[in-house]
Amino acid sequence: MNIPLLRAGSWKPRSRPDTFEGLGVLALEWLGKIRNEFEIKVTTEIANPYHVEQALKYEIDVFWIGARTSVNPFVVQEIAEALSGIQRPVLIKNPINPDLGLWLGSIERIEKKTKDVAAVHRGFSSFQPSRFRNIPLWQIPLELRRIRPDLPLICDPSHIAGKRSMILEIAQKSMDLNYDGLMVEVHPDPETALSDSEQQITPTSLGELLNRLEIRSENFTDPLFLDLLEELREKINIADRDLIEALSTRMKLVEQIGDYKKENNVAVFQLERWKEILKSRPEWAKVLGLSPRFIEELYKVIHEESIRIQTAINSKKESK
């Protein structure tokens, strides 16, 4: 197995007190022994300058900043200052809330002190029911990659899944999306783990997972495939143009409705109409073989823009 880095948390940030919060410096001693005995680089989480100081004392090779820390610019800045002049790679997990700017800000703060930085996608907290422990929201890390194509991107399928049965699925998707690596939680006896036991796998299972992963090529070489791909992409371009023209037509109708509502003193938001849309559009989608959930999310964005347009019409006329 190609495992270049052993990850183990010396300190474990928890939501509630009186739960297992790591072993601190004692765990750093263990990591140092593992590093020397097995000649493998080790990494641990840092959440404040004291953690940085202690991790350096025990010659930890790589640091990572967790989701509960990257959400706080003040703390990240303190860690950045503690890292000043120290050449250590730093892995930065996405913040717990889906905020690309906050994630990018944490990366930039650390980069001012050390250039060897990578991003770790571990999913985002949500109040909505989900089969994931932390919803992946793949569009956010992919947008980060668009903005920063130079930045290594690693997936943490364990925290996204929350249960071991889903780890392969998420790991494979990250590979399909051309991520640069995986951060997987492993334990010799997951059921006895002191934290996150349901999302950990055994070393044997890790080997099986890595053997089952399919790493696909990013480049195309087959001329026939390239021709077919180009033809299909051109059809997608035409379909996208049709979609945008349809949306333009819809928004012009929204503007007409906004004018009518203003003239007749009718509220912009109509709850019953919105309920009807949320019920009917996913049903239409299902008949056409589309994901009802996808269409529901799409219409939430469309509805938000419709509300914005009609509110702007009200504001403009009231100012006259």
User: Residue 306 pLDDT > 90, yes or no?
Assistant: yes
Q: Which residue has the tokens 């249960």?
A: 163
Domain stops at, among 149, 182, 212: 212
**In Å, what is the CA distance from 138 to each residue of 170, 179, 200, 258?**
11, 11, 22, 34
319, pLDDT greater than 50: no
Q: What is the pLDDT of residue 2?
A: 67
Tokens 């948390």 belong to which residue?
Answer: 9
In a domain, 230, yes or no: yes
Does 218 map to a domain?
Answer: no
With 50 as the cut, is the pLDDT of residue 217 above it? yes
User: In terms of domains, do 55 and 98 share one?
Assistant: yes
Average pLDDT for 259-281: 93
What are the residues facing 64 on neighbouring strands? 45, 91
Please, what is the average pLDDT of the chain? 92
Could you say which of 192, 212, 232 is where a domain stops? 212
235 and 200 part of one domain? no
Pairing of strands 181-182, 153-155: parallel
Backbone angles phi, psi at 65, to 5 degrees: -110, 125
Q: Which residues of 115-131 are buried (b: 16+ CB within 10 A; e: fewer)?
A: eebbbbbbbbeeeeeee
Q: Within this chain, do residues 312 and 278 fall inside the same structural domain, yes or no? A: yes
Number of structural domains (the chain) is: 2
Mean pLDDT of 226-250: 93
Taken in order 124, 129, 133, 135, the sign of the CA dihedral is negative
Instruction: Please compute the mean of the pLDDT values over residues 269-280 and round it to a whole number.
Output: 94
Least confident of 3-12, 23-32, 177-186, 195-204: 3-12
Residue 318 has pLDDT above 60, yes or no: no
Is there a single domain that holds both residue 199 and residue 230? no
56 lies in the same domain as 195: yes
Judge whether 110 lies within some domain.
yes
Q: Pick from 212, 231, 260: which residue ends a domain?
A: 212
- Domain membership of residue 228 as a residue range: 223-318
Report the CATH number that the domain containing residue 265 is assigned in CATH.
1.20.59.10
In this predicted model, what pLDDT tens digit does every residue of 196-213 receive, in sequence order? 899 999 999 999 999 999
The answer to whether residues 23 and 129 belong to one domain is yes
Query: What's the CATH code of the domain at 140?
Result: 3.20.20.70
Q: What pLDDT is stored for residue 85 in this prediction? A: 86
Domain contains 45: yes
Q: How confident is the model at residue 15 (pLDDT cuts 50, 70, 90)?
A: confident
Q: In terms of domains, do 154 and 290 share one?
A: no
pLDDT in tens, 153-176: 999 999 999 999 999 999 999 999
The whole-number pLDDT of residue 1 equals 57
The reported pTM is 0.78
CA nearest 155: which of 163, 165, 137?
A: 137
Residue 255 lies in a domain: yes
**Domain match, 94 and 167 both:** yes
**Could you tell me if 42 and 103 lie in one domain?**
yes
pLDDT digits (tens, 9 = 90+) for 42-52: 999 999 999 99
pLDDT at 295: 96
The better pLDDT of the pair 105, 14 is held by: 105
